[in-house]
Amino acid sequence: MIMDEQQITELLEKYKNGLLDAQEKAILESWYLQQAVSSMSEISDEDLNHNLAHIASGLPLKYQQPKYQLWKRIGSVAAILMVAGLFYCFFRSEHPTVNTIAHLQDVSPGANKAVLTLANGKKISITDAKDGELARQSGISIKKTADGQLVYSVYDASPAGKNPIYNTIETPRGGQYQVILPDGTKVWLNAASSLKYPTTFSGLANRKVELSGEAYLEVAKNRAFPFIVKTLQQEVEVLGTHFNVNSYSDEEAIKTTLLEGAVLVHLNKDQSGQKDIRLAPGQQSAIYKAGSATVAVVDVNDAIAWKKGYFEFTNENVYQIMRKVARWYDVEVIYQGEIPLSTMEGTMSRFQNVSKILDIMQSTGLLKFKIEGRKIYVSKA
């Protein structure tokens, strides 16, 4: 996006006052990143330290020298932006270089896209549907809101009975969506995910839904009425809490991260020797395909960065990073030859073209990228 000086000034002023919405923040970050990439002027250590000290003096964040070497040019700019809370990205690299990736055409980021499947099999493209009521079934009104939500509202409180009616919402690669269930539970779906749920929980023994992919949930509190999220290898039981579940089939483990409240992770019966796991806020369980399970204290912001509009990479190699990129940008990743497994760390906006992210990764001097249509070729630099 091309912005004039007045627009930039207005956004910076709103940022300073904490008034930026998610879209404006993403636009400002993208603009700042473009400035960093296009400005190849050297920044001396003295100037960098002076700038860091000046910015840090006016912000609650404190700058600490990262463990790994910052990329000398863009990395120096990025360090300043990290302190400002706008952009932070550094990589392990011994001999960094600067190259712009080759691409015939760029790939735009994902957006609010989803398909709703009703109990009778009818499919509704929420992406194309007009705002307002989409359907009525079993005493439930289903509405699409202007801000990208699917809302279930009860207009007839008749119980579901022995045969509840189920709907399924699916996001494609390159899509995300939010649904508010009849009990008020809010669910954010990441790309390439699906959620199957009853249209009403009335008359049921519990509030059970089935998840594939990744979702962040804010469960409406009801101590007498457990909410259960079923995935391939586990069931997460809660009464009312905030948590994230990553259950993509191409990831090495199903990860459940608790932000608030308490959850009980029930492992499948065929996972012999494993006990149920009770998580406390700040903990993450990982259930591996082989059946083993671990619990660790983590930075919960890493798990929900996608919901806030960011990629958060923490000691991840190119294969782990590109799985996230492929789902969000709906691209095919093709690896050529031996690929370095050095790990990378950084935070980047999801609302910028894919070339911007690949530019930063390529600038480590470890990797080389090429975009052809919706294919991304990765090779050793």
138, pLDDT greater than 90: no
- Per-residue pLDDT of 81-126, as tens digits, reads 443 333 333 333 333 444 567 666 799 999 999 999 999 999 999 9
Nearest to 89 by CA among 347, 351, 370: 347
- Share above pLDDT 90 across residues of the chain, in percent, rounded to a whole number: 51
Nearest to 352 by CA among 89, 147, 120, 155: 89
User: Mean pLDDT, the chain, as a whole number?
Assistant: 80
User: Is the same domain home to 161 and 294?
Assistant: yes
pLDDT for the residue numbered 186: 96
User: Is the same domain home to 336 and 248?
Assistant: no
User: Is the same domain home to 350 and 248?
Assistant: no
When pLDDT is averaged across residues 261-270 and rounded to a whole number, the result is 85
User: Is the same domain home to 170 and 267?
Assistant: yes
pLDDT for the residue numbered 17: 65
| Number of domains present in the structure of the chain | 2
Among 275, 302, 329, give the residue marking a domain's end. Answer: 302
User: Is the same domain home to 97 and 242?
Assistant: no
User: Is the same domain home to 146 and 244?
Assistant: yes
CATH code for the domain of 253:
2.60.120.1440
Which domain range does residue 152 map to? Answer: 111-302
The C-alpha atoms of residue 362 and residue 359 are separated, in whole angstroms, by 5
Name the token pair of 87.
């952009």
User: Is the same domain home to 79 and 97?
Assistant: yes
User: Is the same domain home to 297 and 315?
Assistant: no
pLDDT for the residue numbered 26: 67
367, pLDDT greater than 60: yes
User: Is the same domain home to 261 and 121?
Assistant: yes
Please tell me the pTM assigned to this model: 0.76
pLDDT band at 193 (very low <50, low <70, confident <90, very high): very high
When pLDDT is averaged across residues 362-368 and rounded to a whole number, the result is 87
- Share above pLDDT 70 across residues of the chain, in percent, rounded to a whole number: 73
- Per-residue pLDDT of 38-75, as tens digits, reads 543 444 545 544 444 444 444 333 333 333 332 333 34
CATH code for the domain of 45:
3.55.50.30
